[in-house]
């Protein structure tokens, strides 16, 4: 996807287009010039131009009335108007300050404010409008309506009837008041556009200038869009996209509206296509994204010619010094640096920009950004020059007209984990996460519930909660507090089983259900507990261990997809796209769902985009793999007990060996909010009474767990069990639609005397006060949206998402691994890329 297109994702995935929202777009009048006029009132009535180098970047309306225009060459402007008063505008400090003030006024009205540029803001005033209408009833419109030169009265016909007219009228009043407030507090006049979406609000805000406002009603959308001189005038269609469109013979908005999707799809991925179609029709469901501080700070220097490395170095050094000052004002720590150049192409008489970026190790700012030491400075300079060398071949002649540096990702300083486990003290021991359910049934509560919530966890919880999490830096996903995910849960629902496969003792893939096992009915008692006497050590010497690595499971899923791609394709329209947004192992999604409650677990995932679908796999670093190999023997024993337990529960002969390699998996499509995900969860066994051959859901399936018996007198263990184990089991079953779990509680010696049965839906109740399903589901959808956004910004790359601390998940682009040997570092194997859809491609 082209990077000018906002890839928030909502626009493509959201439900029917409605006019329920009311959005304002504000744009300050001749912004830099006004700031200077506020600072020096004697300039007010004079024609004023703001110059940067030899350009007049803006001018006040007095100057505009006398023929000076924005972005005129200085020389030309002085010819047009010799009396033009000039102020140098190369220092942006004051403009930034006023910009913050203006957004601040809007933010005092609502937190739904998105800063678009120094002088522009989107504000979602939907809620305010509702309040306003309740308080005042109907009233007259303020300002202009699109298409009218003068303010109009309210006898406008309303062909819609959804209430949007009243809302937008109220929106015009809110806009008027807000503009007055901004003027009062900052001395700056602004224009406003009022519409039911961001796109239209932005398009009409400049319709009447300066210091005026314009409403557009939904039924005028066609007129607004078709009044634009070219498709390039649509916000979101940048020069790159437009030049591709022109190659396709599309330049007007009408042409874009009319072009067959098929033709667009030859140049853009399907999401960009739909987005282009939508914006051309004035449709824009993207939400107003709350802005924290600016996501980047950057500086550039433009000139006619620089052609030696020494000069370049000096330019970058000066920029970097100034940038470090800005950084100090900002207070946040950069995690990524971006270097840009503009190369001048003599033949084409044309400059084109290139940028390169890289992450900055947090060790460079050990004490934050207040006092940046010499070492850090020189290390940053080295990075800058390194990136520069990647763009410019300095062994040949070069001609640059601009250099720039930006810290493009900033985060609030995270108190980097000394060692997180130190906050947990003894509690980090894995074995403590086991306990007893029957206590709950007997007592109707858990011991932990009696205690005040604040009593425990000083260390752990505060470490976690103290963090600022409102700053969503571009490529860092910050895990919020559970309460931040308490909005209504998204729909998470299996859409249907579309297949299954079995993997045998040699890890050979079988396209059948031979390895599906059925549970022995006597173990399915629904009331309380079942007494049993199971020895997990029987047949011990005959067992054969698990030989694969977990990651290999996704390879089996890819194999299944190759065999079944026709059942998965989108439609006849796009036979080369699978009809799923994500393909991943269930484990990936569970790791995400557990995050708000599990501050300890670290993980990494890798993702790749291929033909319209994102492939997400858990990534095991070489160190992880090494560690797994050297797992202590008792861990292996516990894992084998789990397999043995399954064998016994499904009627196997306990004196026979169990084969840990064997597994049965269902291929399942799951709806997670607006995304569809293809998963291949392992299914332990089925209830023979309920199982039907042509099942479309997993309702006859049962998850089987073997868990260490616990001492109910230890409230901490009880709480750990409820917090972590129940959460994990619930997440596993919830994602795959498995309704039940049977738990066998074992002794230290591997004896099971007691089974318990739980319904998946009952697990949250058993864990009340410790975790909530909606929190897990909400973080899952927001994380998937983040993954998607990051990937669509660089669809060709392999992406990595890494949980680096309890709250920071860092995104990075993996240096090219395509063509690398198959292994965990790769997401998609070459054989899959080559074979998927290959017969169709050859046509």
6, 114, 120, 772: which is the annotated catalytic residue?
120
Interface mask toward ligand DCP for 57-76; x: CB under 6 A: xx-----------xx-----
Residues that bind Mg ion (CB under 5 A): 27-28, 31, 119-120
Q: Are strands 798-803 and 604-610 parallel, antiparallel or unpaired?
A: antiparallel
Residue 57 interacting entry, from Mg ion, ligand DCP, none, C-beta within 5 to 8 Å by type? ligand DCP
Residue with Cβ nearer ligand DCP (55 or 500): 55
DSSP 203-238: HHHTSS-SS-EEE--GGGHHHHHHTSSSGGGSTT--
The structure tokens 């709250």 sit at 807
**Cα distance between residue 704 and residue 523, in whole Å:** 11
CB of 238 to ligand DCP, least distance (A): 14
Residue 208 or 644 having the CB closest to ligand DCP: 208
- Mark 106-135 with x for binding to ligand DCP (rule: CB under 6 A) and - for no binding: ------------xx----------------
As given in the structure block, the two tokens for residue 240 are 């790159």
Pick the closer one to Mg ion by CB: 192 or 667: 192
* Residue closer to ligand DCP (CB basis): 175 or 492: 175
The structure tokens 């919020």 sit at: 480
Question: Minimum distance between the CB of residue 799 and ligand DCP, rounded to whole angstroms?
Answer: 32
Element housing 256 (H / E)? helix 253-258
Of 18 and 90, nearer to ligand DCP (C-beta) is 90
In angstroms, give the least distance from the CB of 190 to ligand DCP.
Answer: 9
Q: Which range, of 28-36, 41-49, 282-290, 762-770, touches ligand DCP by CB under 6 A?
A: 28-36
Asked if residue 98 binds ligand DCP (CB under 6 A), the reply is no
- Residues binding ligand DCP: number (CB under 6 A): 14
Q: Verify binding: residue 27, ligand DCP, rule CB under 6 A.
A: yes
State both tokens at 574: 């796009």
- In whole angstroms, the minimum distance from the beta carbon of 21 to ligand DCP comes to 24
Cα–Cα distance measured from residue 86 to residue 199, given in angstroms and rounded to the nearest whole number: 34
Of these partners, ligand DCP, Mg ion, none, which one is at the site of residue 58 (CB under 5 to 8 Å by kind)? ligand DCP
Among 506, 476, 158, 140, CA closest to 332: 476
Closest separation in Å from C-beta 22 to ligand DCP:
22
What does 719 bind: Mg ion, ligand DCP, none (CB cut-off 5 to 8 Å by kind)?
none
Distance CA 347, CA 633 (A): 69
36 near ligand DCP (CB under 6 A): no
Which listed range, 22-30, 134-142, 168-176, 420-428, lies at the site for ligand DCP (CB under 6 A)? 22-30
Kindly tell me which of 209 and 399 has the beta carbon lying closer to ligand DCP. 209
Distance CA 487, CA 474 (A): 23
**How far, in Å, CA of 97 to CA of 407, rounded?**
19
Q: Which two tokens stand for residue 789?
A: 């956004």
The CA distance from 817 to 797, in Å, is 9
Which of these segments, 30-38, 441-449, 456-464, 723-731, binds ligand DCP (CB under 6 A)? 30-38
> Please, are residues 244 and 186 in contact by the beta-carbon 8 Å criterion?
no
Contact assessment for residue 521 and residue 690, using Cβ atoms and an 8 Å cutoff: no
CB 589 within 8 A of CB 734: no
d(Cα 724, Cα 721) in Å, to the nearest integer?
A: 6
Three-state DSSP state, 628: helix
How far, in Å, CA of 740 to CA of 380, rounded?
A: 55
- CA gap 56, 647 in Å, rounded: 79
Q: Which one of ligand DCP, Mg ion, none interacts with residue 210, CB within 5 to 8 A by kind? A: ligand DCP
Question: Stretches 25-33, 177-185, 262-270, 275-283: which one binds ligand DCP (CB under 6 A)?
Answer: 25-33
- Give the range of 29-37, 359-367, 680-688, 700-708 binding ligand DCP by CB under 6 A: 29-37
30 binds ligand DCP (CB under 6 A): yes
Tell me if residue 120 is catalytic.
yes
Q: Report in angstroms how near the CB of residue 50 gets to Mg ion at its nearest.
A: 12
Which positions from 193 to 222 touch ligand DCP by CB under 6 A, shown as an x/- string?
Answer: ----------------xx------------
Nearest distance, CB of residue 126 and ligand DCP, angstroms: 25
- Segment interacting with ligand DCP (CB under 6 A) among 26-34, 337-345, 484-492, 799-807: 26-34
Copy the structure tokens of residue 673: 């909010």
DSSP H or E run through 808: strand 808-814
Binder of residue 32, out of Mg ion, ligand DCP, none (CB less than 5 to 8 A by kind): ligand DCP
CB of 302 to ligand DCP, least distance (A): 11
DSSP string covering 421-432, please?
HHHHGGGG-GGG
Distance in Å, CB of 252 to ligand DCP, minimum: 23
Q: Which stretch binds ligand DCP (CB under 6 A): 23-31, 376-384, 523-531, 637-645?
A: 23-31
**Smallest separation (angstroms) from ligand DCP to the CB of 117:** 7
Nearer to ligand DCP, 189 or 362 (CB): 189
Tally of CA atoms within 13 A in the half-sphere of 249 that contains its CB: 5
Asked if 745 and 728 count as a contact pair (C-beta separation under 8 A), the reply is: no
Cα separation, 582 vs 561, whole angstroms:
13
Of residues 339, 332, 373, the one with CA closest to residue 356: 339
Handedness of CA 390, 394, 398, 401 (dihedral sign): positive
Alpha-carbon span 751 to 557, nearest angstrom: 35
Find the distance separating the first CA and the last CA of the chain, reported in whole Å. Answer: 26
Taking the least distance from each CB to ligand DCP, the nearer of 47 and 494 is 47
71 makes contact, choosing from ligand DCP, Mg ion, none, with CB < 5 to 8 Å by partner type, with ligand DCP
Residues near ligand DCP (CB under 6 A) are 27-32, 57-58, 70-71, 118-119, 209-210
What are the catalytic residues? 120
């Amino acid at each position: 996807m082209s990077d000018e297109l906002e890839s928030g994702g909502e626009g493509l995935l959201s439900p029917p287009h409605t006019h329920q929202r009311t959005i304002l777009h504000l744009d300050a009048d001749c912004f830099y010039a006004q700031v200077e006029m506020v600072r020096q009132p004697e300039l007010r009535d004079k024609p004023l131009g703001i110059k940067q180098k030899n350009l007049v970047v803006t001018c006040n309306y007095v100057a505009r009335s006398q023929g000076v225009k924005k972005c005129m060459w200085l020389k030309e402007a002085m010819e047009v108007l010799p009396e033009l008063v000039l102020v140098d505008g190369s220092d942006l400090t004051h403009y930034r300050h006023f910009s913050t003030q203006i957004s601040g006024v809007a933010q005092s009205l609502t937190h739904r404010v998105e800063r678009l540029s120094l002088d522009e803001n989107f504000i979602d005033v939907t809620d305010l409008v509702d309040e306003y209408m309740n308080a005042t009833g109907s009233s007259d419109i303020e300002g202009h309506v699109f298409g009218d030169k003068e303010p109009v009265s309210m006898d406008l016909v309303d062909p819609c009837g959804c209430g949007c007219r009243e809302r937008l009228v109220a929106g015009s009043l809110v806009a008027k008041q807000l503009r007055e407030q901004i003027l009062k507090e900052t001395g700056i006049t602004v224009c406003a556009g009022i519409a039911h979406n961001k796109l239209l609000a932005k398009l009409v805000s400049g319709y009447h200038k300066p210091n005026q406002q314009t409403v557009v009603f939904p039924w005028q959308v066609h007129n607004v869009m078709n009044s634009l001189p070219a498709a390039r005038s649509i916000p979101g269609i940048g020069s790159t996209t437009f030049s591709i469109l022109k190659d396709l013979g599309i330049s007007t908005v009408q042409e874009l509206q009319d072009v067959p999707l098929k033709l667009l799809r030859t140049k853009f991925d399907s999401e960009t296509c739909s987005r282009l179609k939508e914006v051309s029709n004035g449709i824009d469901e993207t939400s107003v994204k709350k802005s924290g501080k600016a996501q980047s700070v950057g500086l550039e220097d433009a000139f006619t010619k620089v052609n030696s490395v020494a000069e370049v170095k000096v330019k970058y050094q000066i920029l970097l010094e100034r940038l470090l000052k800005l950084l100090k004002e900002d207070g946040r720590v950069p995690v990524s640096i971006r270097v840009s150049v503009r190369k001048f192409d003599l033949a084409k008489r044309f400059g084109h920009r290139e940028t390169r970026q890289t992450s900055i190790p947090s060790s460079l700012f050990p004490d934050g950004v207040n006092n940046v030491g010499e070492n850090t400075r020189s290390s940053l300079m080295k990075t800058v020059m390194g990136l520069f060398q990647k763009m410019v071949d300095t062994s040949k002649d070069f001609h640059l007209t601009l250099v720039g540096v930006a810290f493009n990702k900033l985060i609030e300083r995270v108190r980097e984990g000394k060692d997180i486990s130190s906050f947990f003290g003894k509690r980090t021991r894995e074995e403590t996460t086991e306990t007893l359910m029957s206590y709950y049934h007997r007592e109707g509560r858990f011991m932990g519930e009696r205690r005040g919530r604040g009593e425990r966890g000083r260390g752990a919880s505060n470490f976690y909660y103290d963090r600022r999490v409102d700053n969503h830096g571009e490529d860092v996903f910050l895990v919020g507090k559970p309460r931040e995910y308490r909005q209504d849960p998204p729909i998470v629902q299996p859409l249907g089983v579309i297949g299954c496969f079995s993997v045998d003792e040699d890890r050979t893939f079988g396209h059948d259900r031979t390895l599906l096992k059925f549970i022995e009915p006597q173990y399915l008692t629904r009331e309380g507990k079942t007494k049993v006497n199971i020895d997990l050590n029987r047949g011990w010497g005959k067992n054969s261990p698990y030989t694969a690595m977990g990651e290999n499971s996704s390879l089996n899923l890819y194999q299944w997809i190759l065999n079944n791609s026709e059942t998965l394709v989108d439609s006849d329209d796009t036979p080369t796209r699978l009809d799923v947004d994500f393909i991943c192992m269930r484990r990936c999604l569970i790791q995400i769902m557990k995050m708000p409650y599990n501050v300890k677990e670290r993980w990494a995932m890798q993702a790749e985009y291929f033909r319209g679908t994102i492939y997400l796999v858990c990534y095991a670093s070489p160190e992880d793999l090494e560690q797994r190999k050297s797992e202590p023997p008792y861990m292996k024993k516990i894992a084998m007990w789990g397999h043995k337990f399954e064998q016994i529960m499904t009627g196997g002969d306990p004196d026979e060996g169990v084969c840990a390699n064997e597994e049965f998996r269902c291929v399942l499509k799951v709806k997670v909010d607006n995304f569809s995900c293809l998963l291949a969860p392992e299914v332990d066994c089925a209830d023979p009474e309920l199982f039907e051959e042509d099942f479309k859901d997993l309702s006859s399936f049962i998850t089987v767990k073997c868990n260490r018996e616990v001492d109910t007198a230890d409230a901490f263990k009880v709480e750990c069990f409820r917090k972590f184990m129940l959460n994990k089991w619930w997440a596993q079953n919830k994602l795959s639609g498995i309704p039940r779990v049977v738990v066998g509680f074992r002794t230290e010696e591997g004896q099971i005397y007691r089974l318990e049965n739980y319904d998946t839906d009952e697990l949250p109740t058993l864990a009340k006060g410790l975790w909530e399903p909606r929190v897990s589901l909400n973080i899952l959808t927001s994380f998937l949206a983040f993954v998607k956004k990051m990937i669509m910004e660089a669809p060709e790359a392999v992406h990595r998402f890494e949980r680096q601390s309890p709250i920071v998940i860092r995104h990075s682009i993996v240096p090219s691994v395509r063509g690398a040997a198959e292994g965990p570092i790769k997401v998609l194997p070459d054989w899959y890329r080559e074979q998927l859809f290959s017969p169709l491609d050859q046509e």
